[in-house]
Amino acid sequence: MSNSEFNALFPDWLTQSLSLPPYFWNINGYSADDGMIEFRGWALPWYGYPFNRTLRREGGTGVEVVTTVDKGFAMHFPYWPNAPTAPFAARSELGVTTLDYISIESSPAIAAAPLSHPLNQFSRWLFVPTTKDFLVPPPDIIAHIGESSADYYLVSGCTLFNGFKSAFERYAGRPLLSAVRILDWGCGPGRIGLHLTKAIAQDSAATEYVGVDIDPLSLTWAERSLPGTFICTGRLPPLPFPDGHFDFIFGYSVFTHLDRSLHL
């Protein structure tokens, strides 16, 4: 069956989704030791084709992937063809790296050449820390931002940090750590700030990190665990900063925690 014949079986909104990398994915856990990195999770199959998944590291190096079938995924994603083939486990050599993470791309099996596109909301790059030597909030605090586990908290935070870093450097034309002040709008317990402040410390940069949020419990944990300034704010503007105070402001999954009436 050709792609067009396959797509003809489904409504437009679904075929448009199937033509993109799998938006729904999760890392359930990972380990990095003895020269290997292993992680397990799930990602809805490309184009709905069963087992049609390739994971590659930066530079196009293939990653060993084992796919299993879990019929329970059909209940969670009844609109996605072959959803039960979403679970996978992957294993790769850590190799020699000067970075604190490795980047891994999910792609269809038919794509053999490395991609060079910038990170964006449709990128399926995962940035997996090569160590677990991080301070991680307790489960009740992690639950405040909707994460499922400490491992996924680390992987998603590392991935989001690298995404924002790539966006800033692409559009500003300069390194992220050249920014004098950075605001993390809706920082929670510092899921992204954890990786940003580590980069600041490693580079001995003078960048000031500021996090604001409406959740006092998450902010209390962040203030005790991370360098930076943390401020509890209300739901409505303005924030307690003058115009033009920050070189870079980023926020992730903020509006999803607010009533629709507060989105404007």
Q: What's the pLDDT score for residue 121?
A: 39
Handedness of CA 92, 60, 152, 24 (dihedral sign): negative
Residue 221 lies in a domain: yes
- Both 45 and 74 in one domain: the answer is yes
Q: What's the pLDDT score for residue 128?
A: 83
Query: Residues of 104-138 as b/e, b for ≥16 C-beta within 10 angstroms?
Result: bbbbeeeeeeeeeeebeeebbbbbbbbeeebebbe
Q: What's the pLDDT score for residue 118?
A: 40
Q: What's the pLDDT score for residue 17?
A: 56
Residue 134 lies in a domain: no
Residue 69 lies in a domain: yes
Of 71, 101, 129, which closes a domain? 129
Q: Find the CATH number of the domain harbouring 253.
A: 3.40.50.150
Q: What's the pLDDT score for residue 232?
A: 96
The Cβ-side half-sphere exposure at 264, using a 13 Å CA radius, reads 1
Q: What's the pLDDT score for residue 31?
A: 87
Q: How many domains does the chain have?
A: 2
**Contact present, 21 and 107 (Cβ < 8 Å):** yes
Q: Find the CATH number of the domain harbouring 72.
A: 2.60.40
Helix (H) or strand (E) holding 208: strand 208-213
Residue 34 lies in a domain: yes
- Both 81 and 175 in one domain: the answer is no
- Both 16 and 112 in one domain: the answer is yes
Residue 12 lies in a domain: yes
- Both 7 and 121 in one domain: the answer is yes
- Both 85 and 166 in one domain: the answer is no
Q: What's the pLDDT score for residue 152?
A: 86
- Both 116 and 189 in one domain: the answer is no
Q: Give the structural domain span for 58.
A: 3-129
- Both 72 and 36 in one domain: the answer is yes
Q: Which residues contact 110 (CB under 8 A, 6 or more apart)?
A: none
Residue 70 lies in a domain: yes
Q: What's the pLDDT score for residue 122?
A: 42
pLDDT per 10-residue tile (average), the chain, 264 residues: 55 57 72 84 78 70 83 86 87 73 66 41 67 89 84 89 91 95 96 95 94 95 96 90 96 80 70
Of 129, 149, 180, which closes a domain? 129
Q: What is the pTM of this model?
A: 0.79
